[in-house]
C-alpha cells in the first residue's frame, strides 16, 4: 500500500508526523515523502524533513495525506505543483486526507466542491470561500475524503483512517502502540467556548513568532 505524504515549505510538523505515526508502522505500508523536488523541506518550526521523490514520480498512490500550514494563504499561491498533483492523483486514490489547513489545498485542487470538510478554526472562512461546506467537527469523512481540524486532530484522523484501512482492532492496536490516551491539562483546545483572554494571549504569541 503506497501512502503519499505531501511535503512543502512551511508545513506544520505535527500535521505530517501525527498521521505518519498512526499509519507508517503497518507492515503493508510503503511510505513516500513527496515534494516539488526531492531533498530537505523545512517545516514552519524549522525542522527539516527529507522528500524522497517529486510529486510526479508517484502519480497513483493508494492514500494521500496533506498537512496544513500556519502560512496557508501563501501556500495556496506557492504550491502549484502540489495542487496540480492532487487534482491528478485524487481520482485513483482509495483515500485522500488532510490535516488542518491542508483541506484548503484539497479544495483548491477541486476535490472538496460542495462537500463537508473541516480545517483549523482560523481558516474556516477561507475553506468556505474555496467551495467546501465547512464543518466544526474534529474529523469529517465524506466518501473517499477524510479531513481533520487543526494540528493535533491529525492524530485522530490517522487512527480513523487506520480503522478504515485495516479494521478497528488494528486501529486500537496502533493506539496502544503509541500510547495515545490524551489527558490535556487544560480545556482550551477548541475555539468554541474558549476564554477571550486565551485568544488575546494567542494573538500575542503569534505576533512574536
Q: Which residue has the cell 512551511?
A: 10
**179 part of the active site:** no
Place of cell 486526507: 97
List the catalytic residue out of 17, 76, 100, 146: 100
Measured CA to CA, the distance from residue 168 to residue 183 in angstroms comes to: 22
CA 42 – CA 8 distance, rounded (Å): 8
The DSSP code for 69 is: B
CA distance 153 to 139: 7
CA distances from 193 to 134, 153, 187, 203, 204 (A): 19, 18, 9, 17, 19
Give the active site residues: 100
Amino acid at each position: 500500500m503506497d501512502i503519499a505524504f505531501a511535503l512543502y515549505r512551511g508545513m506544520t510538523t505535527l500535521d505530517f508526523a501525527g498521521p505518519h505515526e498512526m499509519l507508517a508502522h503497518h507492515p503493508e505500508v510503503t511510505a513516500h515523502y513527496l515534494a516539488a523536488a526531492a531533498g530537505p523541506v523545512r517545516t514552519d518550526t524549522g525542522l527539516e524533513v527529507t522528500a524522497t521523490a517529486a510529486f510526479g514520480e508517484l502519480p497513483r498512490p493508494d492514500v494521500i495525506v496533506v498537512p496544513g500550514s500556519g502560512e496557508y494563504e501563501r501556500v495556496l499561491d506557492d504550491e502549484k505543483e502540489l495542487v496540480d498533483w492532487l487534482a491528478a492523483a485524487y481520482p485513483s486514490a482509495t483515500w485522500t486526507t488532510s490535516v488542518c489547513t491542508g483541506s484548503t489545498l484539497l479544495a483548491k485542487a477541486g476535490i472538496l466542491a460542495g462537500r463537508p470538510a473541516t480545517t483549523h478554526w482560523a481558516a474556516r472562512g477561507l475553506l468556505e470561500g474555496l467551495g467546501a461546506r465547512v464543518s466544526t467537527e474534529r474529523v469529517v469523512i465524506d466518501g473517499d475524503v477524510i479531513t481533520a481540524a487543526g494540528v493535533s486532530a491529525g492524530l485522530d484522523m490517522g487512527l480513523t483512517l487506520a480503522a478504515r484501512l485495516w479494521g478497528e482492532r488494528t486501529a486500537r492496536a496502533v493506539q496502544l502502540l503509541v500510547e495515545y490516551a490524551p489527558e490535556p491539562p487544560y480545556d482550551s483546545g477548541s475555539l468554541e467556548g474558549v476564554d477571550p483572554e486565551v485568544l488575546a494571549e494567542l494573538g500575542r504569541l503569534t505576533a512574536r513568532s
